[in-house]
Structure 1
């Protein structure tokens, strides 16, 4: 479950300069892709703004129809139904998404893997678990996972899952992908500025109607309703993964609901990860990957990727950051 650890700033200092065209901000919050979407556009008037938002809703709905593993008629469901049987021809849009997902799996050494959906659900985070699963059960639960078993044929534009029972899912990249695609659509329609917040996967373009920059607040780990530090998001994106609410405790150890697809064990030692990059899709995937890799390995990875930054809150509520984040973490 994604935690919204970013707080939008609507009280930043104004940018003074030449007189701006009179613009309005139109905002709508609704449930899409099974989660909370906040859509904000800057437009010439409210009527145009609401038309833009409806176009955004249609685009998100279209994407959900393509990537949803719950929709029996989606391209993704067709791939899963034919696992171990035959390859499936898909749209180039979905093919390229899977191709990018496999590349992220490679650079994260499998910490991010869309075949995680093949995992048997042996961990429960509803408070009803009274003992840990056996090592045998855990090993068995991940037997069908493996990004190398997702075979792509670019010439035929097909996807094949090598083993029967394998499944792919886009829970750790889909909302970011939808946010990016929706942003592209609105820009192509002439929308000069806006913000899309897909339950913590956030992307922006342009500036607010007043000329101010869009700002996000990194939540204070001791009180997620309080801001630790404000950071501008200029033509870029941020995604946050957290375990503030969904976790279990065993013998004083805190286990997150985010499972390492390589081992079958829940992650430990991190409370939240916020990734900053140009694309929401990349932010979404890397937030999950860093959570699984752990603080040191995760930050080391991000420091090697140009244009990407990270803020990690560890299990002791201490804040760590990649080399390009400039705020003082002793605040």
Structure 2
């Protein structure tokens, strides 16, 4: 359920008015959480800007140590090791993140589910997979999935996975959460503007050093170098899920890395989903969920959420959008 950046090319352009005080833009790219992070801040000078970026990197690294299912010392790994055995006391931060993830699972009828991780043993997208899993293997993997099996005790601050073999993973929400936390930290330190871009899951605040607005360019699906519409991203976030970069081909058939946790099989029918909302965490989770739910159900869901918008590109490269997206272009 990891995210990739398909046809939505992120371009930062300028439309607005200048500021009297002179600021500069400072940028760094670094691999964090197994993904590319592009961190941009607007600062008084380069030295301050790089100090701010270091602070953001430290916060993202802290989040990774909290939610990583690969780090055996993380709280998440401790929860997974005790699946079916006993509840595990966790930090309030992790407890609240799991609580929100369960709420999104309910909202999306299970299309988003952090307990999907048991399927990692069945579907592999690291180049090692040669054969399609058997129906039995898939059936067995989904018996360990279900947010209702994640038991939370608010009084004791514990998390319990009911069944042996259950696992939770934050691949569908973690980068967005980390981006939000890095932004919150920098805002608390009076960083006036910036962008935290976690491999296409991004959040923004403020304006460019010149005072001009950030916009994103929506690329033509048939020619990704051509921009057919621009959308403002003002104090808000964007996340994209797509099938372009991560997939496996077995017997000539292409399988997306985005697995429906309800069926155990890769989702089909959509090329990409881009969600626009205030928080990157919500964008991250909903982008995955809508991709899995499909065009009709996905649009139906987003049109009921006043805080979110969506652009869907289906398998025929036709564009579909929620009511708040104001452009009519279709390539």
User: Deviation at 1:215?
Assistant: 1.2
Provide the rounded CA distance (Å) in 2 between the counterparts of 1:203 and 1:253: 35
- Judging changes above 3 Å, is the alpha-carbon distance between structure 1 residues 47 and 120 closer, same or farther for their aligned structure 2 residues? closer
Partner of 1:135: 135
Provide the rounded CA distance (Å) in 1 between the counterparts of 2:57 and 2:330: 41
Provide the rounded CA distance (Å) in 2 between the counterparts of 1:120 and 1:191: 39
User: Deviation at 1:251?
Assistant: 8.2
Partner of 2:210: 210
Provide the rounded CA distance (Å) in 2 between the counterparts of 1:75 and 1:271: 34
Aligned length: 329
- Judging changes above 3 Å, is the alpha-carbon distance between structure 1 residues 218 and 165 closer, same or farther for their aligned structure 2 residues? same
User: 7, 10, 16: which is aligned to 1:8?
Assistant: 10
How big is each residue's C-alpha offset from its partner over 1:223-242, in whole Å with a ceiling of 9 and x where there is no partner?
33433321110000000011
User: Deviation at 1:128?
Assistant: 7.2
Provide the rounded CA distance (Å) in 2 between the counterparts of 1:191 and 1:284: 24
Partner of 1:287: 287
Provide the rounded CA distance (Å) in 1 between the counterparts of 2:252 and 2:74: 43
Partner of 2:101: 101
Q: Which piece of structure 1 moves more, 99-108 or 298-307? A: 298-307
Provide the rounded CA distance (Å) in 2 between the counterparts of 1:120 and 1:30: 26
State the TM-score, normalizing by the size of structure 2: 0.94
- Judging changes above 3 Å, is the alpha-carbon distance between structure 1 residues 141 and 180 closer, same or farther for their aligned structure 2 residues? same
Residue 308 (str. 1) matches residue 308 (str. 2) = yes
Provide the rounded CA distance (Å) in 2 between the counterparts of 1:66 and 1:241: 24
Partner of 1:63: 63
Partner of 2:265: 265
- Judging changes above 3 Å, is the alpha-carbon distance between structure 1 residues 170 and 209 closer, same or farther for their aligned structure 2 residues? same
SS in 2 for 1:156: coil
- Judging changes above 3 Å, is the alpha-carbon distance between structure 1 residues 35 and 128 closer, same or farther for their aligned structure 2 residues? closer
Provide the rounded CA distance (Å) in 2 between the counterparts of 1:153 and 1:221: 46
User: Deviation at 1:212?
Assistant: 1.1
CA RMSD of aligned residues (A): 1.8
State the TM-score, normalizing by the size of structure 1: 0.94
Provide the rounded CA distance (Å) in 1 between the counterparts of 2:120 and 2:10: 37
- Judging changes above 3 Å, is the alpha-carbon distance between structure 1 residues 125 and 58 closer, same or farther for their aligned structure 2 residues? closer
The gaps in structure 2 that reach 5 residues or longer are none
User: Deviation at 1:245?
Assistant: 2.6
The gaps in structure 1 that reach 5 residues or longer are none
User: Deviation at 1:137?
Assistant: 2.2
Partner of 1:229: 229
Partner of 1:23: 23
Q: Which piece of structure 1 moves more, 137-146 or 90-99? A: 137-146
Specify which structure has the bigger relative contact order, considering alpha-carbon pairs within 8 angstroms and separated by 6 or more residues: 2
Q: Contact conserved, 2:12 with 2:216, CA < 8 A, in 1?
A: no
SS in 1 for 2:239: strand
